[in-house]
Every structure is written in C-alpha cells, then in structure tokens.
Amino acid sequence: MARGTWGDGSGESLFRVKVQFRLNGQPAQTGFHLRDIGFNTFTPQQVAEHVQPWVQNSFRTILTTTDTVEGIDVLALQTAEGGSVSFSNTTGAVAGTPQQIAPAFLMATVSLKGELRKRYGQGRMFWPVRVEDWYSLESLNTAGIPALQAVVTALTDRYLGSTITHNLRLVNVHGPIDAKPATADHPIVPAVPASWYDVTSARLSTAISSLRSRKA
C-alpha cells in the first residue's frame, strides 16, 4: 500500500478528523486521519461534510439517548486550515434506563493496521461502550460485538477499498521522530521524517478497558 512523507507544504493532502460528543454531559472525542487520493481537491470543510453521514447514521448508534453528538472538526495538516460540522440536539440512538447505561470511561479499541510493522506505522481509536448488556466481565459479548463492528464496517466501507469508488482513504500519520543514539545493546536508530501510511484494515478488539479521562 501507499506511504509517503509530509510537512513541506507539498504532496498528499492529509486531514485530521475529530468527532466530538458528550457522554451523559461529559466531553469526549475520537478521531482518525484521511488523505485525498484523487487530485488534492478536498477542502477541510468538504472532508467534514463527507464524514458527517457516517457520524449521523453509524457512529451515533453506539451512543445512548443521554449522549449527544457535538460536531466534527477537520484540520488540513499541510496548510493548518480547518473545517467543521456542528450538530444541533442530536442524541445517540440507543435508549435505556440509567441502570442499563455503562460508565463513560469504558471503552473498546479499534486498531488501524498498516503494512509497516512498526509502532509508528499503526493507529487506533477509542470508542465508548455505553450499554451494560454489551459486555460480560472484561469483554464485549454477542450483543456488543455486532453493535460496534457495524460502525467499524461502515467506516471501512467508506474509507477503505477501491480507489475507483473512494476519494478519501484512512491513513496513519505521525510527525518527525528523532534519531536514537547507539547503546551497548542496540545500534543507532535513524530519524524518521513526518510520514503517512495507508491503513489496510480496522480491527475491533473485544477486550474492554477504561480511560483515565475522556475529556476533549
């Protein structure tokens, strides 16, 4: 798959996407990166509007009616220009009593895998697990797995696959990484320039964990 460098104001158009929401009033966010695989014609505002249907129709299905979707914020990494979409009175889609709603700090990990088997070539997202019936002990169960997997599938259907039908693609992105000097046990580790790597698959982990803070 494709990979490249960024940071000199040329090359691929890369965008950082943040999805902002509130879990029972507490601010939270998750996000990912996209690149324009066409002719670098997307503006940050157009990217935000392109992500909006996925948030509206898919991501909100794992939020409860006590949660709200706040907006989408997009930053063009090459130019520092931004775009955004705001939601008005948009709640999650899962109804439940307060006794059925899980704590806001519970989360599941969605790993964004690339071909480069280096830590800096991989990515991940933390998604909330909001319904107690979706997990048993420390794992998603037969109710929780399909609920979250459907959202993962909707994301990959939209931003992975054939370049003929997709104009934006999921990528993992990092800034410049400094070189590390040689030690008695390891040779010198060379510096790595600011780079991007195509995501090849998104994988939902069935293990649930907790975040120290979900504040944006």
Res. 164: pLDDT tops 90: no
In a domain, 216, yes or no: no
User: What residues contact 16, with CB distance under 8 A and at least 6 apart?
Assistant: 31, 33, 74, 75, 77, 173
> What is the total count of domains within the chain?
1
- Tell me whether residue 107 is in a domain: yes
Percentage of the chain modeled with pLDDT above 70: 95
Cα–Cα nearest to 104, from 204, 32, 18, 22: 22
Residue 120's domain comprises 3-210
**Helices 44-57 and 144-159, axial angle in degrees (round to 10):** 150
Task: Tell me the three state secondary structure of residue 86.
Answer: strand
Structure-model confidence comparison of residues 208 and 40, the more confident one: 208
The reply to whether 102 falls in a domain is yes
Kindly state whether residue 7 falls inside one of the protein's structural domains: yes
Examine residue 62 and state whether it is found in any structural domain, yes or no.
yes
CA distances from 66 to 20, 40, 62, 140 (A): 15, 39, 12, 21
Per-residue pLDDT of 7-19, as tens digits, reads 887 778 999 999 9
Q: What is the pLDDT of residues 49-87, one digit of tens each?
A: 999 999 999 999 999 999 999 999 999 999 999 999 999
184 or 202, which is more confident? 202
pLDDT bucket at 216, cuts 50 / 70 / 90: very low
Percent of the chain with pLDDT over 90: 70
More confident site: 169 or 40: 169
Residue 100 belongs to some domain of the structure: yes
Residue 215 lies inside a defined structural domain of this protein: no
**Is 133 within the bounds of a domain?**
yes
- The pLDDT tens digits for 134-149 are 999 999 999 999 999 9
